[in-house]
Every structure is written in structure tokens, then in C-alpha cells.
Chain A
Amino acid sequence: MARKPDLLPGTLDMLILRTLQRAPLHGYGIALQIKRLSDDVLTVEEGSLYPALQRLLLQGWVKAEWKMTETNRRARFYTLTAAGRKQLGVELTQFEQMIEAIGRVLRDVQEA
């Protein structure tokens, strides 16, 4: 059951919420956007993406509706809700604190 740790655990939800902050997107769009914005460093596996989206729906942080794409295909678009926006804020703060903390530890080791 080894899964390559392409993302820091627990960050997928945050990335999806962040991506949706700009504009509503469908699943494929979200994956694409994360890949592009990270310069191909982060790839979101579909196996994680869709369960994550269901989870976010269930929490009420995103809502979904079927719309037409520019290419005239029906697709499910996910939109950030007010609760989702709030959650994103919380997660960003936590994440930043975490990164900062890790950074401090790493710096300390280097200086020693």
C-alpha cells in the first residue's frame, strides 16, 4: 500500500480550496491548475482528487453544479462557499505556522 508522497499530507484540501478561490473549476481543471501553478512539481492523483472533492462537499466547503465548458461539454464545476473561504484561511494560517516552525528547526540545525 505504498503511495508516493507527492504532497505533504493534509495539504490537498487546502490546495483545492486555494485553487477554487480564483474561479469555479471542474475536477480536471483543478488538477491541471495545481500542476501548472506548481510548475509541474505537484501532481494531484485522480485517486485522491475525487474522494477529496466529495469530502469537501460533505463538509460544505465547496458546492458543485453542472455547467457547460468553453468547449461546450457538460462538466461539474466546484465553487468555494463562504464556509470554505473561512476554512481556507484557517488552513493557510496553520500551514504557514507549520512551515515557519519547520524552517526554524532546519535553520537551527544548519547553524549548529
Chain B
Amino acid sequence: MNSISRFLKKLALLFRRRRFRAELEDEMAFHREQAEREFIAGGMKPEAARYAAMRQFGNAARVKEKSYEVMGFRLETVAQDLRFALRQLRKNSGFALTAIVILALGMGASVAIFAFVDAALLEPLPYFAPDRLMDVAENSAMFPRSNLSREDYDDWKRLNRSFGSLQVYGGTGYLLRTPSGPVPVPAGRVSDGFFSTLGVKPMLGRGFLPGEDRPGQPKILILSYGTWLTRYGGRRDIVGQAVNLNEDSYTVVGVLPREFSFAPRGNAEFWVPLLDKNGCEVRRSCHNLFGVGRLRDGVTPAAAFQEMKGIAAQLAVEYPGSNQGQGASVTPLSELIVGQVRPILFTLLSAAGLLLLIACVNVASLLLVRSEVRRREIAVRGALGATRVRLARQFATEGLLLAAVGSSAGILVAAWMMTTLRRLVPKSMADGMPFLNDVGLNAHTAVFAGAIALLAALLMAATPVLRLSFQDIRDGLGDGGRVAAGRFWRRVGANLVVVELSVAVVLLVGAGLLGKSFYRLLHVENGFDTTHLATVQMAAPGSGYSTKEKKVALFRAIDRRLSNLPGVQSVGITSDLPMQCNCDTDWIRIVGKPFHGEHNEVNSRDVSPGYLPTLKAHLLRGRMLTEDDDASKSQKIVINQAFAEKYFAGEDPIGQKVGNGNLDDRSIREIVGVVGNVREGGLDSEIWPAEYQAMYYDPDSFVAVAVRTTQDEKAVLPALVKALHEVDANLGTYGEITMTDQIETTQTALLHRLSTWLVACFAALALILGVVGLYGVIAYSVSQRTREIGVRMALGAQRSSVYQLVLGEAGRLIAVGVVVGLAAAVGAATLMRKLLFGVQAWDAGTLLGVAVVLGASALLASYIPARRAASVNPTEALRAE
């Protein structure tokens, strides 16, 4: 209570400072006058009396200052300290600049990474009550999360009690008719309540109404905001107009708001209701949708999962042919969207945190060296009457000033890093990461930055003050104190350096392991020649190519036309290019083998005869597909090695037949060849059994074309697109890319590359800071021991033994730092093993390499002061003292 009223009084005085001072002035003047009178009354001359009074009163300025100190917040002295601190920093601009840059880098890195963590993991998804939204999918032995079939969805929706609303979405593509010809566009197909369940309202027009997704309903669509702007010029009268997709007329009913994004279908330009079942959807085993559900109040995700599992089991009994082994998966929607980046972001945040730690330690040791250098100054000021508290405050002010400038610079670095990092993420990937738009200096980031700045300020203010309290000020004046104080610094400084070196080791090992993973990833066995391969996606309009024969004719024409392009060796057409995903699968049954309804899932690709040779896949047995393998004969397939090993272990697969679960006549196909495993899935996915069906037996409309080139494949891409349009101007083409580029830009490769580079940058900075820190300690130690070294040399010590002395000291520090660091690094790497690919956390090569790199650079750094020590002239060294 008392302290509060005291504080309030001080506060009141703060606003009446001028008056307070005037009153004190008056009071003191009155005092002097009275004293003067007294002296005159005692018989002094007026002049003498005035001096006597002044003498008696003493130092008026000092009295005032002491009175202010009682009443004020010490604002005066703070300003004074600040002025002095500025002067100090200007005088030692090298030191100040170093400290500020180090702090700014450390802080900038951690704040920038935190902004990403915040946007991805802390900010809620941009939907209504997003924590109640669940990703709902099926689940099978090979897919923990697999597509939901439309038939199953209808049953799930009808039977479940957990979800207030259960909706589905799927991806699709259309040929959009434009004045300049048909353009393939990505689109989303959704159930009627999809948008309302997410809590999204169109900014223009309306959403889908209940029942509008049923078969036979009018064809309508909703535009994404970007499409509305780019394709329709942001015209508000677009609602009600017709858009031509796949030669059907759709009416625009609404436009989605700008901030809307749905990562699983991030690139969709048009959103259409489910409407009629497509060719595949009439089968219950056609898995092509995903569910999103909003939990009813009070229902937990676990309870919902249990219920859906029960429903799936019930359906498996009811429809064993399609649903045996099909379970359910219910996970938070946020998990689906950010789950993949979480381990990467946490790793990066930890790395940035370590960099910040090393930066702070470095700056702290810089400050310690500074206070060491200023010992004499401190001693002089102490002798002239500065109290310990006053000195401490002075140093704290200098530390705070440094921290303030460093932190401000850090914010700038962070802002720059955020924009740079965001630009490094390519558009294709950014579509799936809508949270990237929220990366920036928002309230969360500001709080985080503030906390770091506060910590830095505390550290930088406390270090020299702590140092001060260990030291007897008077020691600084005499030379006697030198040895003791020097020893103090050497001990603390040495410990700090060990911390720095170990942290640098941890970061280097992390970078090394990530780099090695990345290398391994890019050099996995792909089973085909990825160089000189140009690819393009293509869609044939339904009207011109309604029959199998017409499509086959088209593909043959394409094959002929492209083969004649200069620089093109061979041409292949496929339903899916390699390195995409283990998806587009088929359930198979081997003719003549026991079968109990299990789902033998294999990748299924429709390919032209030229496709596998164009990839340069290795033929192991039998033959490749030929032009003759068409609808006029029985269906033929080539399988991969994994298929042969899994289903025909110890047998010859050639001539064997496979079919669907019921061995329907139409599904039976004969194996004519075995090729080496071509990587169909991502770089870090396992190899699945795969079958390559003869495309000319039953061709698709959406295909990919791949050509093998003799020259630079990139240069062929434009000619490729042009040639396709020469075959038929109505063909839609998109996504032309070389195989090398495609591999480099897969999400896996990008995420690995990005994290590898960032951690490598952090590690490089850490290495520099650690080595510089070591140099500082050794150099200081040498400067303190010049006299000792001089004496030793005067007594006959060889230069080599001086080297030994200095490098030995450095070597001990390095050894401890490396050992501690390696132990910590193995622990840290174990924590991030999710990010490692083909390399263990305790990878000996990496650990050894880091130890060598750090040891060598650290020894090199200490060699410089060692040389200086060894070149000490004994006579000069002794005289200097």
C-alpha cells in the first residue's frame, strides 16, 4: 500500500518536475540567505558572509541531485547514461557493429522462422470453428488414408450420428472453352453442403443449395476468386452467365471470397456440384473422393472415429467384394493441411533457436571482453566516487542500447527473410499451403520478437553487471588485480566458447545429415533415365474422340508427329507419369491362385507401346507391349519386378493371367513381360507392384506425353506443345515440364532442399560465430600472458613450446566443445529422424566430417594468436610491463 502511494507521488511529481525543482531551488536559496544573515548578525562583512554561507551549504548541485534521486525515477541519470553509452558505442563502432549484426542475424532468423510456424501451426484454418472440422476418409492396409467411394459416402452420411454435416470433395479437370481454344483447367467437385460446412460464403452470388448435387440437377458452378479476376476480369455480372466446360454449359451461381483457400484442392479454378455419377462412381470400389465433416457438439474426434470404423465394418460385411478390409480414418482437417510441414518447421525453429543462442553467447562474450578492457576506466570512475550501483547502471544502459538497436535490425532482417523464404516456395506448392499468406509481422510474431528482444536485453545488461559484481573495483587500478581478473575472464570466456562450439557442432551435424538425406533422395534408384525427358499433360475433347478407335488413331498420330520433331528420339504416352504418386491403383486377383477377397493393390498405368522404351525401363523377361496389343486381341500387360516378386515368387510370370476380384471376362489380362521397377511414387515412397496395360486396348482421354530427346530437353518443350496443337487444335495441353525439373520441384524434394539450405546457412553462421568466439578467447588469453610468455622465452623456451602452450589451450576447448556437441547432435538428430532419408542419426561419416571441419577451422583460428605469441620479443614483453 505504502509503496503504491509512494509510486503515485513519484508519478505525480514526474509531471510537475519543473515546479518541484523551482521549489527546491527557492528553498535552498532561502536557506543560504538565512545563513548569510546569521553571519552578518555575527559581525561579518556582507561579502564574506555570502561566501561563508555558500561554503557552509556545500555543493548545491550535489544537494539538488541527491534530492532528485529521492523523488524522481532517475530519468536524469538515465538520459545521462544513454548519452554516455552512445558515445562509448560510437567510439568503439567496430565492437558495436559486430554485436548488432550478430544479434540481428540471430534474432531475424528465429523471428522469420517463427512467423512460418505461427502461420502454419498456431493460426487456426480460415474456416468457421476449424477445430471441429475433420478429414474423413477410408483406410486400407496399404493406404492409411485412402479415397472415399461415392457409394460408401452415401451410406456413411446416412448412418453416422457423429457429424452434424458430412461432405465430400474430389479433384477433376475440364477443358474450358475459351476464344483462343480449349484450355485444361483444374476443378473441384463437391457435395452440396461443402462450402456451408466450412463456413464459407461466396462474396458474389450464392453457394450450392441442398439437393443441387444430385444426379440430373442443372449444371452450375462457383468460381474461385483468382479465376474470376483473371478469366472474367472481375465482372460483377458474371453471376448467371454460362461457362463452357467439356462442351457442357454451366451457369455461374457465385464467386468465392478472396481469402478462401482449400489446400487439398488448392489449384481448383471452378467448383461444381457432384451431379451425375461418372463412369467409375457407379462402382462401390471406385475411390475418388475425400470427406470433410463437422463434428456435432460434444462428439470427440475419437468417438467419431469409432463410429465410422463401425459403419465401415458393417459395410464390409454387406459388400465383401468391394469393402473387405476397408476401414475408416478420421483426423483433424488441420492435420491434413499442416501435418507434413510440422516436423520441418520444428526442425527449422530449433535450428534458428540454436543460432540465436550462439549469437547471444557471442555478444555476451564480446561484452565481457569489453568490460575487461575497461577495467581501468571502471576503477578510475569508482575512485572518483561512482558507486557500484551507478556503474552497473551505466553498463546495463550500454547493454540495453545495444540490444535495442540489434533487435530493431533483427526485425528488419526477419521481414526480409520472410519475403525471401516465401518467394522460394513455388506456386504449385504454395497452392497446398494457404497458411503462407498469413506469414508476416502480426501480433503473435510481434510478441515473439518482443520476448526475444527482452531476453537479449536482459542478457546484455546482466552480463557486464554480473562481471562487475565479481570484481573489486579498486583492483583495477593496481597491476596486482590483473592476473586474478584475467583468470576470471579466461574461465568464463572458455566456458562460453565451449557452449558456442558445441552448438555449432549440433547445427553442422544437422545440416550435414539433412544434406546427405537430400543427396540420397535425389539419387534414389528410379529405374529409368530421368535426363533428356520432356513431358506434357494433354486432354482430348470428348466430342471429337468419343470412341476407342478415334482415341487410338489420335495417339498414333501424335506418336508419328512427335517422333518427327528434330531432336526427338522416341515418344511415349501414359495415363500417369512416373515420380508422381503410388495412386491410380487397381485391385487384382491372380488366375489359378487361392483368393479370399483380399485387396491386392497395384499401381495401374495405361501406356502406349513406346512408353516403357522411351523411359529406358529395363526389360527383365518376356517382351514389351507392341502396336498390335490393341482391342482386337486379348488384353496384355507388362508388370514390374516388385509385382513379379510379390505374386510370382519362384515362378515365371510370363503367360500368367490376372483379373479383378470376380475374374470377370473383360478384366482378364495376360502378362507378357517384366520390367525393372520404375519409380511411380515420390522420391521417398516405397516401390509398389505395378502393371502397365496396353493403352491401345482401352485408351483414356486425359494422358501425359513423354519424349526422349537427344538435345536439351527444355528446348523441346515449346515445339512439343506446338506439334500437339498441329495434330488437333482442340487438344488441351498443360503442365509442360522436363522430368529433371519435375523431380526437383516435387514437394518432397522442395521441402528437403529448403530445410537443408536453411539449416546449412544457420550452421555456417554458427561455425563462423563459434570460431570467432574461440579466436577472441585465445587472443585475449595470449595478450594477458604476454609477460609470462616473455619470461618463458627469456628463460630459454623454444617457439615450438609457445605454440604448444597456446594451441594446447585451444585444443582442449575445441575437444570439449566437439565431444559435447557430437553427443548433443546425435540426440537432436534422433528427434528429427522423420526428416532423414537413407541416413541414420548417428551417421559416422557426417559426425566425423563435422568434427574435422570444426576442429580444423577452430585450430586455424587459434593459430593466429599462437603465432603472435610465438613471435613475442622477450625483452619488449618484459619492458612493456
Contacts and interface: CB of A to CB of B under 8 A. Distances in A.
Interface string B25-64: 0111011011100000000000000000000111100110
Contacts of A26: 27, 30
B122 interface: no
A50 B23 contact: no
Interface string A1-32: 10000000000000000000000001110010
Contacts of A45: 58
A52 to B, nearest CB: 8
B32 to A, nearest CB: 9
B5 A75 contact: no
A58 B57 CA distance: 23
A1 to B, nearest CB: 5
A51 B27 CA distance: 12
Nearest to B56: A46
B70 A27 contact: no
A46 B5 contact: no
A53 to B, nearest CB: 8
A59 B6 contact: yes
A55 B34 CA distance: 23
B23 A76 contact: yes
A4 to B, nearest CB: 12
Interface string B811-844: 0000000000000000000000000000000000
A47 B59 contact: yes
Contacts of B62: 47
B66 A51 contact: yes
B22 to A, nearest CB: 11
B300 interface: no
A54 B70 contact: yes
Contact of A58 (B56, B66, B70, B385): B70
A27 B31 contact: yes
Most A C-beta atoms less than 10 A away, residue of B9, B24, B57, B70: B70
Interface in A53-75: 54-55, 57-60, 66, 73-75
A50 B10 contact: no
B67 interface: yes
A58 B67 CA distance: 11
B69 interface: yes
B71 interface: yes
Contacts of B385: 1
A46 B58 contact: yes
B27 A75 contact: yes
B28 A50 contact: yes
B30 A51 contact: no
B31 A28 contact: yes
A9 B26 CA distance: 28
A51 B69 contact: yes
B58 A28 contact: no
Given A28-B35, A55-B70, A58-B9, A50 B63 contact: yes
A60 B1 CA distance: 12
Contact of B71 (A28, A54, A74, A76): A54
A55 to B, nearest CB: 5
Nearest to B9: A58
Contact of A60 (B5, B10, B57, B71): B5
A50 B35 contact: no
A46 B63 contact: yes
A46 B27 contact: no
Given A54-B71, A55-B70, A47 B30 contact: no
Given A26-B30, A73-B30, A50 B66 contact: yes
Contacts of A27: 27-28, 30-31
Q: Is the interface of B mostly helix, strand, loop or mixed?
A: helix
B58 A50 contact: no
Contact of B10 (A1, A46, A58, A76): A58
A45 to B, nearest CB: 7
Most B C-beta atoms less than 10 A away, residue of A27, A51, A66, A74: A51
Contacts of B63: 46-47, 50-51
B58 to A, nearest CB: 5
Given A26-B27, A26-B30, A58-B9, A47 B66 contact: yes
Contact of B31 (A46, A51, A66): A46
Size band of the interface chain A makes with B: 20 to 34
A50 B30 contact: no
Contacts of A54: 67, 70-71
Contacts of B66: 47, 50-51
A65 B385 CA distance: 35
A89 B753 CA distance: 78
B24 to A, nearest CB: 7
Contacts of B30: 26-28, 73-76
Interface in B755-774: none
A66 B19 CA distance: 13
A50 B23 CA distance: 12
Nearest to A55: B70
A1 B33 CA distance: 28
Contacts of B69: 51
Nearest to A54: B70
A42 to B, nearest CB: 15
B26 A76 contact: yes
A76 B31 CA distance: 10
Contacts of A31: 31
A76 B23 CA distance: 8
B798 to A, nearest CB: 51
Contacts of B56: 46
Contacts of B35: 28
Interface in B379-393: 385
Nearest to B31: A28
B9 A74 contact: no
Given A28-B35, A58-B9, A50 B26 contact: no
Contact of B67 (A1, A50, A66): A50
Contact of B57 (A1, A46, A57, A76): A46
Contacts of B6: 58-59
B33 A50 contact: no
Nearest to B386: A1
A59 B7 CA distance: 10
Contacts of B2: 59-60
A5 to B, nearest CB: 16
A26 B62 CA distance: 20
A59 B67 CA distance: 14
Contacts of B27: 26-27, 50, 75-76
A1 B69 CA distance: 18
Contacts of B23: 66, 76
A1 B389 CA distance: 15
B75 to A, nearest CB: 16
Contacts of A55: 70
A6 B34 CA distance: 22
A57 B67 CA distance: 11
Contacts of B24: 50
A48 to B, nearest CB: 8
B392 to A, nearest CB: 17
Contacts of B10: 58
Contacts of A1: 385
A12 to B, nearest CB: 13
Nearest to A45: B58
Contact of A47 (B5, B9, B58, B71): B58
Nearest to A52: B70
Contacts of B9: 57-58, 60
Closest 5 CB pairs of A and B: A54-B70, A51-B66, A28-B34, A28-B31, A54-B67
Interface of B: 2, 5-6, 9-10, 23-24, 26-28, 30-31, 33-35, 56-59, 62-63, 66-67, 69-71, 385
Given A46-B63, A54-B71, A59-B6, 8 more contacts: A46-B31, A50-B24, A50-B27, A57-B71, A58-B9, A60-B9, A75-B27, A76-B27
14 contacts: A1-B385, A28-B31, A50-B67, A51-B63, A51-B66, A51-B69, A58-B6, A58-B9, A58-B71, A59-B6, A60-B5, A73-B33, A76-B23, A76-B30
